[in-house]
Chains A and B, each alone.
Chain A
Amino acid sequence: MPKTVKLMQGNEACTAGALAAGLRFYAGYPITPSTEIAELCAEELPKMGGCFVQMEDEIGSIAAIIGASLTGKKAMTATSGPGFSLMQECLGYASLCEVPIVIVNVQRMGPSTGMPTSPAQADVMQARWGTHGDHSIIVLAPGNVRECFELTLRAFDLAEKYRVPVIVLTDEVIGHMREKVELPDPRDIRPFNRAAPRSPAGYKPYAADPDGGVPLMAPFGAGYRWHVTGLFHDETGAPSGKSDVADKLIRRLDAKIENNVDDICEFSGEGLEDCEIAVVAFGSSAMSALSAVRRARKEGVKAGLFRPKTIWPFPAKALREVALHAKTIVVPEMNLGQLALEVERIAGCSSKVVKLGKVNGELFRPEEVYAAIMGEADNGGTGQGSAKAGEGAK
């Protein structure tokens, strides 16, 4: 099949990316604005020998994909805020048991049922810390339809490589938007497949280099016997309450992500080389921000856009470099300042960080971000005192 150019929806591109990665098991409970992903998986998976199950709820959905992944299948579910809340317990289970899964969260207004058809970006911290206990996780944030394809594909690769749950965090705008996309020739796609042990003899399912190693994963049903438990466990998978076992395990789980941020983190940007005012935005807000940055440049203001494609772990090293010359960093996001906290942590010592929160269920208009940039430019980019959160986004 040659490259295809077509008008494609974000949710459709997510599904296409998952299928290109080798998705063979989907379990989910439909919820706006993610439902198209379930619909398309129901249509496509049976054609390729895969399996689609509509579950009783989101708890069952994530439990089912964990089970499927343990048998060696690439597995995914998609949901939105209310469903993502229900998935948190099993997310921790997948994290501790090191089961590769992909969860797409097409964000909508919350908390609770909220506004089902309206976009938001308020699950940033939930995606990072929603499940209890210390854990590392990978969260990818597509900024357009093509990236829904690319980053969902990548989510599987990272999940398989690091044996970790990966969350694709989109929103109603990105999920429902249709854009002209050119998808790569499937023959050019080389999905990552998890490393498997050679033989059941002496197999230790959790044996790995303590400094961030990833254990070899045997598929259930292939002659391997191993134990999977949400209790802390030793190399054999057997439960252990020993403090040294617990300490070693939790540090390894953390290190396997944190020692590999250079491999995991991606970002893109415009005007970052010399910007005095940087805008940090992800997902759909970044589209408004890009338009604003371009307009500000035309007006002679040295503005730039830093758009993380990986938001957890955050591409901190790259942002620190920008912060060396950006006196001000404006962070527009459809929440009251969640990603801005991470930006402050990384760059708050060298740059003034301005939170620009929008929480009315609508995407930023470019002029709202533009007004914030120009307001900072008028302050000479240093801005005495702090700007009010939500300024320019009323």
Chain B
Amino acid sequence: MRVEFRLSGSGGQGLLLAGIVLAEAAILEGKNAVQTQSYGPEARGGSSKAEVVISDDDIDYPKATDPDFLLALTSEAYRTYGRLMGKGTIIVDSSVPLDPAIAAKTVTLPILKTAAVDLGKKVVANIVALGVLGGLSGIVSDAILERAVLARVPKGTEDLNVKALRAGIALAKGETPPESC
């Protein structure tokens, strides 16, 4: 079965890395995975989007067509991609005001705050978000996801990143996706 993820926010939030780790975790589980991206010419800031398609079968088209999960960490990303959502679930940061016109299933979680306040490092918001995506989708096991994170993050930051991942998984598990919102 084909599962599509779209991770959106602003450049510099590390969403591309989160997408890469998610795809690598899927490969560790023996699945196929493709990760693509689109971004503006800016070195940081601007809008950023990473997509991951995971499947047990051959993946022909590499981009998300009707995402199962949309992660939106900024208001702009939420408004741009939220309105394109059909069957899937939107995971939006609590700092983003919701738009009643966006009808897709929506889960609001304090991803940025968990990173900045609870963990004291806003740079790990991407790994918190990865934990949330892993937890909500169940696409890979928590242990595999942790292995994939450890294989990618810089030396000396392992503990912090594992904490961030676990915090994200906990956020996902404490929150049952509502039917609609």
A residues lining the B interface (CB < 8 Å): 5-7, 32, 116-118, 173, 176-180, 284, 287-288, 290-291, 294, 363, 365-367
Contact = CB atoms under 8 A, between A and B. Distances in A.
B60 A291 contact: yes
A366 B34 contact: no
Contact of B65 (A177, A284, A366): A366
Interface of B: 20, 23-24, 27, 32-41, 59-63, 65
A177 B35 CA distance: 6
Dominant SS among interface residues on chain A:
mixed
Given A7-B35, A176-B37, A180-B33, A291 B27 contact: no
Residue of B38, B59, B60 with most partner-chain A CB within 10 A: B60
A367 B60 CA distance: 13
B35 A116 contact: no
A173 B36 contact: yes
Nearest to B61: A291
A294 B63 contact: no
Pairs of residues from A and B, 6 with the lowest C-beta to C-beta distance, nearest first: A291-B61, A178-B35, A291-B60, A290-B60, A7-B24, A180-B27
A360 to B, nearest CB: 13
A172 to B, nearest CB: 9
Contact of A294 (B23, B40, B60): B60
Given A7-B23, A116-B41, A290 B61 contact: yes
Contacts of A7: 20, 23-24, 27, 33, 35
5 contacts: A7-B33, A117-B39, A179-B33, A180-B27, A180-B34
A366 B35 contact: no
Contact of B62 (A32, A118, A287, A294): A287
B62 A177 contact: yes
A110 B38 CA distance: 17
Given A7-B23, A290-B60, A291-B60, A178 B34 contact: yes
A179 B24 CA distance: 9
Residue of A118, A178, A294, A367 with most partner-chain B CB within 10 A: A178
A178 B22 CA distance: 12
Contact of A179 (B34, B38, B40): B34
Contacts of A117: 38-41
Contacts of B61: 287-288, 290-291, 366
